[in-house]
């Protein structure tokens, strides 16, 4: 029997493959010595769990009444060498920002000691080798082809950027005239696989999204960066309707925030902007059709026009906070191909979790006694910050607050 390292008791909120948000109250979760979840059961059978797993009930770590566990949030796209200039050059569009801010700074990382110090600051040690063509513009066709073959030979993960801005897409078309679209540049060179994560995708067509789905490739949605560099908006609803894997990314330093809470909020806001723009476009089209009908002669009005302007089916609706929560947790783990390791509180996965305390000192929001756990989660996602994050566990190890060396 595996030895029990931790036993927690309280409310757990996570996503599953069946629902975007599941709130599980009065439950107990136990982890083993390597940080994997051993059991996740109703606290009503606490005594039986103690006997089965051999832990002392006095060692159970119980959450406060309004506290809850949620899975650790997963950033699917970040640039470690850009961490040094977050918030700089935001007045420039993408390609100008790269030329004037990003590339000159990244050139300094030829200093190995500088690079080592920065990567140790930003990157957690749970890393894997990954093939990373920056984007098609910076690569020759021969390089892309060689990278694709290398990834195939060693079954490696792949990451890059795609369809981030109109200027970028225009340049890709100029450099790769024999390809039908941006997606095909990667696909024909074996760089679009079920281990691929492509950032942005603001202008991917439905045809390209179908290729993403067929290949099992994922999109990292980086709404802060998309807005900050005036790149565009990703229609998340459309991508999800095409059953494309997706997570959220901060894209530091194209995005000026390292917080996944910011990514959640901006993902929802972007979805609302798209919805409003689409609604306005449909209203304008309807007004135009109505005016055209008003100007038609009686004998030009047929049976179809008499029924009013032709209506198109609109399946678009805004991203809910539950879906954004899923994107930041389980969706991100699926995008990175690590959903068998992390993303929710399923038995056998590693215990990656946050303890959220809505009543923390100096909390940016207030909690009344009658507020439900679902409402508390909403307030945390929209209003909370690091003051509400009481503890952080990675693979069963408490990394925040930092363990005392004394």
- What is the CA 389 to chain-centroid distance, rounded? 19
Split into its structural domains, the chain has a count of 2
Q: Are 356 and 338 in contact (CB under 8 A)?
A: no
Predicted pLDDT of residue 123: 81
**Which one-letter DSSP state was computed for residue 130?**
E
Residues 68 and 133 in one domain: no
Residue that is last in its domain, among 243, 265, 287? 265
pLDDT of residue 310: 32
Whether residues 106 and 127 fall in one domain: yes
In terms of residue numbers, what domain contains 388?
Answer: 4-72+343-400
Distance CA 264, CA 319 (A): 10
If asked whether residues 58 and 189 sit together in one domain, one would say no
| 3-class DSSP assignment, residue 280 | helix
Burial profile 211-223: b = 16 or more Cβ within 10 angstroms, e = fewer? bbeebebbbbbbb
Last residue of a domain, one of 247, 265, 283: 265
- Judgement on whether residues 211 and 227 belong to the same structural domain of the protein: yes
Q: What's the confidence (pLDDT) of residue 404?
A: 60
- Answer yes or no: is 55 within a domain: yes
Handedness of CA 125, 129, 135, 138 (dihedral sign): positive
Does 336 map to a domain? no
52 and 159 inside one domain: no
Query: Are 122 and 215 in the same domain?
Result: yes
pLDDT band at 311 (very low <50, low <70, confident <90, very high): very low
DSSP code of residue 356: E
Tell me whether residue 199 is in a domain.
yes
Are 253 and 370 part of one and the same domain? no
The verdict on 121 and 243 lying in the same domain is: yes
Check: CB of residue 159 under 8 Å from CB of residue 132. Answer: yes
Q: What is the mean pLDDT of the chain?
A: 92
For residue range 123-179, list pLDDT tens digits in order: 877 788 999 999 999 999 999 999 999 999 999 999 999 999 999 999 999 999 999
In a domain, 182, yes or no: yes
pLDDT tens figures, 273-298: 999 998 888 888 877 777 776 776 55
In a domain, 215, yes or no: yes
| 87 and 211 belong to one structural domain | yes
Helices vs. strands in the chain: H and E counts, helices first: 15, 13
- Whole-angstrom distance, CA of residue 292 vs CA of residue 284: 12
pLDDT of residue 252: 96
* 58-93 tens-digit pLDDT: 999 999 989 999 999 999 999 999 999 999 999 999
Judgement on whether residues 241 and 381 belong to the same structural domain of the protein: no
Last residue of a domain, one of 209, 238, 265: 265
Whether residue 31 is contained in a domain is answered as yes
Q: Identify the CATH number of the domain in which residue 201 sits.
A: 3.20.20.140
Are residues 149 and 247 located together in one domain of the fold? yes
pTM score of the predicted model: 0.91
Q: Is residue 368 part of a domain?
A: yes
Judgement on whether residues 216 and 107 belong to the same structural domain of the protein: yes
Strand residue runs (E) in 90-169: 130-131, 157-162
Domain-embedded: residue 303:
no
CATH number for the domain including 26?
Answer: 2.30.40.10
Per-residue model confidence (pLDDT) at position 314:
44
Which pLDDT band holds residue 299 (cuts at 50, 70, 90)? low
184-194: pLDDT as tens digits: 999 999 999 99
């Amino acid at each position: 029997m595996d030895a029990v390292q931790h036993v927690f008791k309280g409310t757990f909120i996570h996503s599953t493959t069946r629902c975007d948000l599941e709130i599980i109250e009065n439950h107990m979760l136990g982890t083993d010595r390597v940080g994997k979840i051993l059991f996740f059961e109703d606290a009503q059978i606490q005594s039986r769990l103690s006997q089965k797993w051999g832990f002392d009930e006095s060692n159970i770590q119980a959450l406060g009444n309004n506290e809850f566990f949620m899975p650790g949030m997963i950033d699917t796209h970040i640039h470690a060498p850009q961490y040094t200039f977050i918030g700089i050059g935001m007045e420039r569009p993408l390609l100008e920002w790269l030329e004037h801010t990003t590339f000159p700074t990244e050139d300094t990382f030829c200093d190995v000691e500088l690079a080592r110090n920065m990567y140790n600051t930003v990157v957690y040690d749970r890393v894997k080798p990954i093939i990373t063509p920056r984007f098609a513009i910076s690569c020759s066709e021969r390089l892309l082809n060689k990278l694709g073959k290398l990834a195939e030979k060693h079954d490696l993960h792949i990451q890059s950027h795609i369809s981030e801005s109109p200027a970028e897409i225009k340049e890709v078309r100029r450099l790769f005239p024999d390809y039908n679209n941006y997606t095909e540049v990667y696909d024909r060179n074996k760089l679009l696989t079920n281990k691929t994560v492509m950032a942005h995708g603001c202008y991917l067509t439905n045809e390209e999204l179908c290729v993403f789905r067929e290949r099992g490739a994922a999109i990292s949605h980086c709404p802060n960066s998309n807005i900050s560099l005036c790149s565009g908006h990703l229609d998340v609803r459309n991508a999800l309707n095409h059953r494309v894997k997706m997570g959220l990314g901060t894209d530091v330093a194209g995005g000026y925030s390292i917080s996944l809470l910011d990514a959640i909020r901006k993902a929802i806001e972007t979805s609302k902007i798209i919805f409003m723009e689409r609604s306005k476009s449909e209203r304008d089209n309807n007004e135009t059709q109505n005016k055209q009908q008003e100007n038609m002669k009686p004998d030009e009005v047929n049976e179809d026009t008499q029924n009013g302007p032709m209506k198109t089916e609109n399946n678009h609706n805004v991203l809910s906070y539950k879906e954004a929560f899923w994107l930041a947790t389980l969706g991100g783990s699926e995008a990175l191909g690590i959903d068998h390791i992390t993303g929710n509180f399923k038995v056998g996965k590693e215990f990656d979790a946050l303890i959220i305390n809505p009543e923390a000192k100096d909390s940016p929001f207030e909690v009344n006694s009658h507020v439900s756990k679902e409402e508390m989660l909403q307030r945390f996602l929209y209003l909370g910050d690091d003051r509400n994050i009481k503890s952080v566990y990675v693979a069963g190890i408490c990394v925040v607050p930092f363990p005392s060396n004394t």
